[in-house]
Structure 1
Amino acid sequence: MNNLNTDQQNLDVLLTAVKQQGIDYLNHIQERTTSSSAEVGIVYDLNEEGIGAKNALAQFNERFEPLMVASSGPRYWGFVTGGTTPAAIAGDWLSTIYDQNTQSAIGTGDISAVIELETIQLLLSLFNLPKDYFGGFVTGATMSNFTCLAVARQWIGKQLGKDFAREGVSGTIKVLSATPHSSSVKSLSMLGLGSGNFIQVKVMEGNREALDVADLELKIKALNGEPFILISSGGTVNTVDFDDFESINTLKEKYNFWWHIDAAFGGFASCSPRYRHLLKGWENADSITVDCHKWLNVPYESAVFFVKEKHQLLQVETFQNSNAAYLGDPMENFSYLNFLPENSRRLKALPAWFTLTSYGKKGYQEIVESNIEMALLFAGFINNHPAFELLAPVRLNTVCFSLTDESLVVTFLEKLNTKGKVFMTPTFYNGKKGIRAAFVNWQTSVADVKLATNAMLEILAER
C-alpha cells in the first residue's frame, strides 16, 4: 500500500500535473494530428508492486500520449464526433471526483438522480419538446435506441396479450423502417427481434433517404391491423435527411404502431429557428434517441432517451430489477435502476447539466448554426472544384461527396487522413464510393475549413 498512500499524500501534485497537461493539450489541439498510424507494443504482465501514479503518468506520456489524435478538435470530421465545451469538461471531472452510482432521486443515500431528472427537463426545453416525456442518460445512441426499442417490444407484446419481458419474445414482431442507423439494427439483434427482420420501406425519389410515406402506408395496410414498430429518421447519417413527421402523425391517427425517432444528432436542428421545421411533428413520437457526445459537445459516453410518460409502466416491466417490489406508480420510490439497462451508472448527466446551464439556448443555437455555416462553406468548395462532386444536397451539417473519378476515392482519403490535418470517413451512397464530413465541434471555424481544403488541394497537386 506504500504507493497508494504516497499517491494520496501527493494528490494535489498529481492532479495539478494532469490539469496542466490537459490545458496544454487543449491549447494546442489545433496543431495536433487528427490521425496516427504508429504502433505501440502491449505489456502483458502486471508489475508486482506497481510504480505509483507519478511514474504511471510518465509511462503514459512516453508510450501513449504522443499517439493520441485530436478527435475532440475542430477538424475531426469523421463519424459524427463532437468536441467538449469547457463547462462540460468541468462537469465531467466532477462526475469522476464525486463518483456517484446515479439511481435514486429520494432517500438517505445518493440523490444525484435529481441532477439527471433536472438535466432531462433542460434538454426537453432545449429541443422544444413537451414535458410529457420521461428520459435518462445512457452511454450512447446504440443504448438509447436499445432502451427505446425495448419498451416498444413490451408495448407490442401487450397489444398481443403477452408479457415479453417475463415470458420472452414469441412470434414475429413487425418493424418498419427506410434507412435505419446501424445502431438501431444492432438493437433489434440484441432484443431478439432479428437484425434482418425489419420490413424495408422505400425512400422518396429525388436523391432522398427519407421514407416514402405512400409506400409506408401500403406496407402498413399489408399488415392487416397487426401492431408494429416504426423506426424513423431525424437526420440520416449520410445526408441528414428527415422523415416527414407530420405525415407520420396523420398515419398514427389511423393505425396502431409504436413510433420511434432516431434523432441522434439531427434533433439539434430544433435549437435553430432556421432549421427546426425539419422536426415539425416529432413531439408526438412514442420515443426519441438523442446523442449528447455529438452536437451537445460533452465527453463520451453520453446519450439520452425520451419515452412518453404514458409508457412508464411498460418501461418498468422491461427493466425492473428482479427485487423490484412494485408494479404500481413507477415514480413512487423512483430509481433509474428500474427504467434502463444499467445497474451501475456514472453521473453522465453532470457534464450535460454544466454545459446547458453555462451556455443556454442561445449558446447552442450559435453552435448549431455556426457548424451548418461551416458545412455549407465546405460544400461550396466541393461544388466549385472540378475534381469533386456533391453526392447529395447539404441539408444540415454533413457533407457527402466523392471525386469525379470515383476510382481515386480510397487513395485520396487515405492520403488526406494520413496528413493529419483533417479526418473524414468513407461512405457508400447511391451506388458510389464517397467521403463524409460531419461538422459538430463547437470550435470549427472558417480557418479550419480553409486548412482542410488546402490539404485536399495539395493531394490533388501531387498526382
Structure 2
Amino acid sequence: MCCPKLIRTPHRRSDRSLARWRVVERGWDARTTQDKWNMGEKPMSRMHADYEILPELLAEARRLAVDFHAGLKDRPVGARNPVMAPQVLPDEGGGALSALKQFEQTVAPQLSASAGPRYFGFVTGGATPASLAADWLVSSADQNSPDPGDSIGPALSHQTIAMMADLFDLPYSQGGGKDGFGGTFTTGAIGANYLGAACFREWAGRMNGLEVTRDGLGELLQPGAVEIFSASPHVTMVKALGVLGFGRKGYTDIGKQPGREAMDVAALDRALSNSKARAKVVIASAGIVSTGDFEDLTAIADLCDRHEAWLHVDGAFGLFARCSPRLAPLVTGVERADSITTDCHKWLNVPYDCGLFFTRHIDLLETAMLLTAPYLEMDGAVPSFINRTMESSQRLRSLPVWMSLHAYGREGVREIVERTCTLAGEMGKRIDALDGYELLAPVRLNIVIFRGVLGDDAESNAGQKALLDAINATGKVYVTPGLLHGKSGIRAAFSNWMTGPEDVEIFADALTEARAAVASEGEA
C-alpha cells in the first residue's frame, strides 16, 4: 500500500512563514478540511480535522524541536522556577496548531537546558540523535508493548535487553537462572530497585516457608526471618524497602571505609556471621551518589556466597563503567549478583524515562509481579513482560535504546563514559586550583563534589546554598546540593554526550562569577 504523496507548498501565516504540507492522495487535504470546518461542514471531531492536517502539524512540531536544539547551548541551563496560574478548561479546543502556538508562547521559553552539555544536576544524560528520533517513532506508533501476539514490541525488548547485557559484559538468558540474567525495562532506577526488593522479598519468604506475594508478609516481619545489610543505599532503595513492607529503617547499617562512602567489607563479614536470620540480603552500590565511589563487589560477592545471602547491586550509573576497559575493574564482581539496577536515561543518553532491571531469578520476578485475567492470556513466540514489572501498560522504551545501540555501538557508549569521566577529573583539578573553593573528595568517576570556602559560613548549609544559587543564577551551568561526611557542599555530575572541554571552561567561569557575587553580597 503506497504512502500519501507529500507536496510542500508555501503558506503565509500572520506571525511567520511556515512550510505547509498538503496531502493530495487518499483524501488527506488540509486546506479542504479547514475550509469545510470554517463553512460548518465539520469532520467527525476536531481530532479528525487535526489528523487530516497531520503532516503540517508534525512539521510545526519539528520546527519547534529544531529551534529548541538550535538554541540549547545559549538557553539558561536551569529554569527560573516559573509558576503557571490555574486556567479554566475551554469547552471547545482550538485544535492542535493553536495548542502548539500556546506552547511556543508560554511553555517553550521556560524549558530548561537539561538536555544540554552543562546540566550537571543529579546524573542526567541528554538524548543522542538516534534515540531522539526513535522516541518520536515510539509516540507515533503508540505500541502498548508488554504482551506478544499483536506487536513486535516484546521481541524487540528481549533483543535489546540481550544487547544491553552484552554491553555490560553480563551473561544473558531470557529466562534467567545459572546461565545468565534476564530482565525488563522500567521507568527508572526506582522502578528497578522496587523490582529488586520485590524479588528478594519473595526469596526471603521462601527461605522461611512463605509465599509472600500470595499470603502477605506475615512471619517475614518477625525477628530471625530476614535481615538486610547495606552501607550507602540509594534513597530509591530505601523508599522501595518502605513501600514493600520492610520499612525505610528496615536494614542494618554497615559501617563505611574511613573517608569513603564504600562499605567496610570486614564489618559486613562480622554482621553476616553474627546474624541469625534465615534469609540474608546485601544491598551494594556501584557508583555511590555523592562521590561516584564503588564498593568491593568481588569481596562482597564472596561473603554472600559463603553466607548464602542475596546480593542486589544498585548500578544506576556506575554499571556503565563496565563499558570501559579502563574503568571496568571498578565493577568486577557485579556479574555474580542476584539482581542489578541500572538507568538508560543517564549515561546511555536516551530520553526520559528508561530504567533497566536484571536478575538471574526471573521465576521470582514473575511470581512477585504476577498479573492474571482471562483477557490478558495471549500466546506469543517470546515471554510476556506483563509479569515482569508493575505496569501492565508499557511504553516501547526499548526502541530508543535499540536505535542508539545500533547507531553508535559499543565504542560510542565507551567514548561517552570515558570522555565525561576525563572531563570530571579536569573539573576537579580546576576547582582545586580556584580561589574560594575546595574539593570534598577525589574525583573517582564522573561526580565532582566540592564546596565554597566561605570563612565563618563555610560549614553552614545557608552559606553553601547561597553559593549554589549564585552558580545556577549565572545561567551557564546547573548543579545540585551535596552532603559528604556531614559537610554541606555542591555536586556536579558529568554524563551528557554533548559535554566537551569548552564546557569545563564555562563551568570554571561560572564558579568564579558566583564566588564574586556572594562575596559582594557579604560586603554590602
TM-score normalised to the size of structure 1? Answer: 0.95
Given candidates 359, 363, 375, the residue that maps to 1:313 is 363
2:503 is aligned with 1:453: no
Superposed, which structure 2 residues align to 1:186-265 within 5 Å? 186-205=239-258, 207-224=259-276, 226-265=278-317
One-letter code of the match for 2:282? L
Deviations 1:129-165 (A, max 9, x none): 1121001101010000001110110000001100000
Q: Which has the larger radius of gyration?
A: 2
Deviation at 1:253, TM superposition (A): 2.4
1:300 is matched with which residue? 352
C-alpha spacing 1:241/1:356, structure 2 compared with 1 (3 Å) = same
CA distance in 2, matches of 1:80, 1:267: 13
Deviations 1:328-349 (CA, angstroms, capped at 9, x unpaired): xx99872111111110000000
Of the three residues 181, 187, 191, the one matched with 1:139 is 187
Structure 2 equivalent of residue 359 of structure 1: 408
Mapped partners of 1:43, 1:11: distance in 2 = 30
SS at match of 1:338: coil
Secondary structure in structure 2 of the residue aligned to 1:14: helix
Describe the superposition over 1:238-273 as per-residue Cα deviations: whole angstroms up to 9, x where unpaired: 011111111112112211211100000001111111
Q: 1:7 to 1:325 in 2, by over 3 A?
A: closer
Amino acid at match of 1:338: N
The answer to whether the 8 A contact 1:201-1:212 is kept is yes
How far apart are 1:38 and its partner, in Å? 5.1
- Whole-Å separation in 2 of the counterparts to 1:28 and 1:62: 16
Cα deviation digits, residues 202-259 of structure 1 (max 9, x gap): 0011x11110111001111221252121110011000111111111121122112111
The partner residue of 1:73 within 105, 108, 116 is 116
Q: The residue matched to 1:264 in structure 2 has which SS?
A: coil
Instruction: Tell me how far apart the structure 1 counterparts of residues 235 and 49 of structure 2 sit (CA, whole Å).
Output: 47
Q: 2:418 aligns with which of 363, 369, 376?
A: 369
Larger mean Cα displacement after TM superposition, 448-457 or 403-412: 403-412
Separation in structure 1 between the aligned mates of residue 265 and residue 170 of structure 2, nearest angstrom: 24
Write the deviation string for residues 295-342 of structure 1: whole angstroms up to 9, x where unpaired.
00001110000001xx2221121111133899xxx9987211111111
How far residue 37 of structure 1 moved from its aligned partner, in angstroms, is: 2.3
Does the 8 A contact of 2:187 with 2:354 survive in 1?
Answer: yes
Distance 1:412 1:141, change over 3 A: same
Give the aligned residue type for 2:274: A
SS at match of 2:199: helix
Per-residue displacement from partner, 1:27-68 (whole Å, max 9, x unpaired)? 221001112325343334211111100110111111111000
Q: Equivalents in 1 of 2:399, 2:340: separation in Å? A: 21
Q: What does residue 32 of structure 2 align with?
A: none
For structure 2, which runs of at least 5 residues remain unmatched after alignment?
Answer: 1-43, 173-179, 520-524
Q: Which residue of 1 aligns with 2:450?
A: 401
Give how far 1:175 is off: 1.2
Q: Assess if the C-alpha contact under 8 Å between 1:104 and 1:111 holds in 2.
A: no
**Partner letter of residue 75 of structure 2?**
R
**Aligned partners of 1:77 and 1:437 also within 8 Å:** yes
Cα displacement string for residues 160-217 of structure 1 (whole angstroms, at most 9, x for unaligned residues): 1000000111232321100000000000111111111111000011x11110111001
Higher relative contact order (CA 8 A, sep 6+): 1
Query: CA offset at residue 69 of structure 1?
Result: 0.5
Q: CA 1:324 to 1:378, structure 2 compared with 1: closer, same or farther past 3 Å? A: farther
Name the SS of the counterpart of 2:345 in structure 1: helix
Match in the other structure for 1:281: 333
Query: Are the equivalent residues in 2 in contact too, given 1:152–1:229 (CA < 8 A)?
Result: yes
2:452 equivalent to 1:423:
no
Q: Matched residues in 1 for 2:47 and 2:425: separation?
A: 53
CA contact (8 A) 2:183 2:362 kept: no
> Structure 1 residues 414 and 281 mapped into 2: Cα distance closer, same or farther (>3 Å)?
same
Report what 2:57 is aligned to: 14
Contact 1:225 1:255 in 2 (8 A): no
**Percent identity of equivalent pairs:** 39
Query: Which ranges of structure 1 fall in alignment gaps of 5 or more residues?
Result: none
Q: Partners in 2 of 1:240 and 1:36 — Cα distance?
A: 26
Which residue, 139, 145, 151 being the options, matches 1:110?
151
Partner residue of 2:490? 435
Contact 1:36 1:418 in 2 (8 A): no
Counterpart Cα distance in 1 of 2:144 and 2:215: 30
What is the TM-score of this pair, normalised by structure 2? 0.84
Is residue 324–residue 338 contact of structure 1 (8 Å, CA) maintained in 2? no
Supply the AA of the counterpart residue of 1:430: H
Q: Cα deviations across residues 101-152 of structure 1 (Å, max 9, x unaligned)?
A: 11134x3x12311110011011011111112100110101000000111011
Separation of aligned partners in 1, 2:61 and 2:356? 30
Q: CA deviation at 1:459?
A: 2.2
The CA distance in 2 between the partners of 1:3 and 1:253, in whole Å, is: 63
- For these two proteins, the number of residue pairs brought into alignment is 455
Find the aligned partners of 1:394 and 1:402 in 2 and give their Cα distance: 14
- Letter of the 1:312 partner, please give it: I
Asked whether the equivalents of residues 113 and 119 of structure 2 are also in contact (C-alpha less than 8 Å), the reply is: yes
Q: Which residue of 1 aligns with 2:438?
A: 389
Report the 3-state secondary structure (helix = DSSP H, G, I; strand = E; otherwise coil) of the residue aligned with 2:145.
coil
Amino acid at match of 1:114: A
Q: Is 151-160 or 28-37 further displaced after alignment?
A: 28-37
Q: Could you say what secondary structure the match of 2:185 adopts?
A: strand
- Aligned CA distance change for structure 1 residues 196 and 38 (closer, same or farther; 3 Å): closer
SS in 1 for 2:284: strand
SS in 2 for 1:78: coil
